[in-house]
Amino acid sequence: MQPAVEFRNISKAFGAVQANADVSFSIAKGSIHGVIGENGAGKSTLMSILYGYYNADSGQLLIDGEERQIRTSQEAIAMGIGMVHQHFMLVENMTVLDNVMLGTEGGFKLAAKRKDTEAKLREICARYRLDVDPLATIHDLSVGAQQRVEILKQIYRSAEILILDEPTAVLTAQETASLFEILRLFKEQGKTIILITHKLGEIMEITDQVTVMRAGRVAGAVATRDTSKEQLANMMVGRPIEGNLPRKPFNPGAPVLKVSGLQLQDKHGVKLLSDIDLTVRAGEIVAIAGVSGNGQSELMEILSGMRLPSSGKVEFLGTELPFARRANADGLPAEFRALGIGHVPEDRLRDGVIKDFTVMQNTVFGYQDRVKNKAGLFDFKAIADRCAHLLEAFDVRPKNPDLRIGLLSGGNQQKVVIAREVSAAPKLMLVGQPTRGVDIGTIESIHTQLLRLRDEGVAILLVSTELEEVRALADRIVVVSSGRVTGELNIDEFDTTRIGLLMGGMHKH
Partner 1 sequence: MKTTELPRWASGFVLPILNLLSALLVAALVIHLLGESPVESLQILINSAVINPEGLSYTLFYASTFIFTGLAVSVAMKAGLFNIGAEGQMYLGGLGLTLAMLSFDATLSPWLLIPLAMVASAVFGAGWAFLPGYLQARRGSHVVVTTIMFNFIAANLMNWIIVGFLIPEGDQNPASRPFSEAAAMPRLFDWFPALGDTPLNISFLIAILALVIYGVVMSRSSWGYKLQATGLNQHAAHYAGVRISRMIVVAMLISGALAGLAAVNSIMGSTHYLSLNFPAGAGFIGIAIALMGRQNPVGIFLSSVLFGALIQGGFDLSLEKPNIPQETFIFIQGLIILFCGAMENMYAPAVLKLINARKR
Partner 2 sequence: MEDFQFASIIVSTIRNAPVLIFAAMAGLFAERSGVVDIGLEGKILASAFVSAGVAYTWQDPWIGIAAGILVSVALAMVQAFVSITQKGNQLVAGIAINIAMSGLTFVVAQYFFQQGGRTPDLGEARLTDVVLPGTALVADVPFLGWFYGHLIGGHSVLVYLAFLLLPVVHWTLFHSRFGLRLRACGENPHAADAAGVSVQRTRYIAMLIAGVLCSFSGAYLSVVQSGFFLRDMSAGAGYLALTALVFGNWRPIYTVLGCLMFGFFQAVQIQIEGVDLPVVGRIPGSLIQMIPYVVTVIVLAGLMAKSVAPKALGKPFVKSR
Q: Which residues bind partner 2 (CB under 8 A)?
A: 44-45, 48, 53-54, 72-74, 77, 83, 85, 87-94, 98-99, 101-105, 107-111, 153
Cβ–Cβ under 8 Å, residues 326 and 302 = no
Nearer Cβ to partner 1, position 4 or 264?
264
Q: What angle do CA 54, 57, 63 make, to 5 degrees?
A: 65
SS3 state of residue 179: helix
Cβ–Cβ under 8 Å, residues 480 and 506 = no
List the one residue out of 462, 490, 463 whose CA is nearest residue 476.
Answer: 490
Beta-bridge mates of residue 265: 271
Residue 325 Cβ, how far from partner 1 at the closest point, in Å? 16
Nearer Cβ to partner 2, position 154 or 464?
154
Give buried/exposed letters for 64-87 (b at 16+ CB in 10 A, else e).
Answer: beeeeebeebeebbebbbbbbbee
| Torsions phi, psi for 79 (to 5 deg) | -90, 5
Residue 410 Cβ, how far from partner 2 at the closest point, in Å? 15
Cβ–Cβ under 8 Å, residues 41 and 238 = no
Residue 491 Cβ, how far from partner 2 at the closest point, in Å? 37
Q: Give the largest CA-CA distance in the chain.
A: 79
CB-based contacts of 406, cutoff 8 Å, min separation 6: 355, 356
Nearer Cβ to partner 2, position 45 or 481?
45
Residue 112 Cβ, how far from partner 2 at the closest point, in Å? 10
Residue 460 Cβ, how far from partner 2 at the closest point, in Å? 33
Residue 80 Cβ, how far from partner 2 at the closest point, in Å? 14
Nearer Cβ to partner 1, position 117 or 361?
361
Nearer Cβ to partner 1, position 364 or 478?
364
Residue 41 Cβ, how far from partner 1 at the closest point, in Å? 22
Site residues (vs partner 1, CB under 8 A): 15-16, 304, 306, 328-335, 337, 343, 345, 350-357, 361, 364-366, 368-369, 371-372, 376-378, 380, 404, 407
C-alpha distance from residue 89 to each of 138, 228, 271 (Å) = 11, 34, 26
> Which contacts of 148-153 are long-range, i.e. CB under 8 A and separated by 24 or more positions?
148/182, 149/88, 149/90, 149/96, 149/99, 149/100, 150/84, 150/85, 150/88, 150/89, 150/90, 151/84, 151/182, 152/96, 152/100, 152/121, 152/124, 152/125, 153/82, 153/99, 153/100
Partner whose footprint covers residue 334, from partner 1, partner 2, none (CB < 5 to 8 Å by kind):
partner 1
Residue 137 Cβ, how far from partner 1 at the closest point, in Å? 24
CA distance 250 to 393: 26
Nearer Cβ to partner 2, position 99 or 442?
99
Residue 330 Cβ, how far from partner 1 at the closest point, in Å? 5
